[in-house]
């Protein structure tokens, strides 16, 4: 392994970078934020703290030079440095904002399609449930009508049975009456 590879993999703290570039930590945070917004990616640990490799220091130094020497805003300087990094083919992490936006727009389109499919499925399910409820209501109505019809028939049958029993009982009483009571109608 060469010295260049070892040196490029050394992770420096913000205070080390500030000492190298002769800037304040607040300025470093500001510049790093502007470069990040332009598409440059810095190393961040699990606690969210930035660390800087030699390549990052070179990019920051170039940013400071471009900012000082030209009449441009910080954002324009950051975009110029990002272009320089891409043109110089440095092995630095640069996020291509256009590709990132395209990726997100593809993801958004895919999510919209999924949501539309789910909405269609929900409409279909609601329609099925409505049809099922109508079917259940109709069946209950028919059952209730049949039940009422059966009850009426049952009541009529009972009345007829009661009337027949009453008639039988009267005939039985007539038979049991003696000769004289039949004769005199008592």
| The token pair that represents 148 in the structure block | 């009422």
Domain ranges within the chain, ordered by starting residue: 3-95
Question: Looking at the predicted structure, is the pLDDT value of residue 123 above 80?
Answer: yes
SS3 letters across 108-173: HHHHHHHHHHHHHHHHHHHHHHHHHHHHHHHHHHHHHHHHHHHHHHHHHHHHHHHHHHHHHHHHHH
The third-level CATH classification (topology) of the domain covering 3-95 is: Multidrug-efflux Transporter Regulator; Chain: A; Domain 2 (1.10.1660)
Q: Quick check: 21 and 62 in contact, CB under 8 A?
A: no
For residue range 112-121, list pLDDT tens digits in order.
999 999 999 9
pTM of structure: 0.45
Residue 115 is predicted with a pLDDT of: 93
Residue-wise pLDDT for 42-88, tens only, equals: 888 888 888 888 888 888 888 888 888 767 788 888 888 888 888 77
């Amino acid at each position: 392994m060469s010295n260049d590879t070892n040196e490029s993999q050394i992770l420096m703290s913000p205070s080390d970078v500030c000492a190298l570039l002769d800037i304040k930590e607040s300025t470093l945070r500001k510049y790093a934020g502007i470069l990040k917004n332009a598409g440059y990616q810095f190393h961040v640990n699990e606690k969210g703290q930035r660390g800087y490799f030699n390549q990052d220091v070179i990019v920051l130094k170039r940013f400071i030079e471009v900012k000082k020497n030209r009449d441009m805003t910080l954002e324009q300087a950051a975009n110029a440095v990002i272009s320089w990094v891409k043109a110089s083919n440095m092995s630095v992490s640069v996020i291509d904002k256009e590709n990132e936006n395209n990726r997100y727009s593809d993801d958004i389109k895919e999510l919209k399609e999924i949501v539309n499919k789910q909405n269609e499925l929900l409409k279909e399910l609601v329609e099925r449930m409505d049809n099922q409820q109508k079917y259940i209501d109709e069946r209950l109505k028919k059952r209730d009508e049949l039940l009422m019809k059966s009850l009426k028939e049952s009541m009529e049958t009972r009345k007829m049975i009661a009337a027949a029993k009453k008639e039988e009982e009267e005939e039985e009483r007539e038979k049991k009456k003696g000769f004289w009571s039949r004769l005199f109608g008592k």
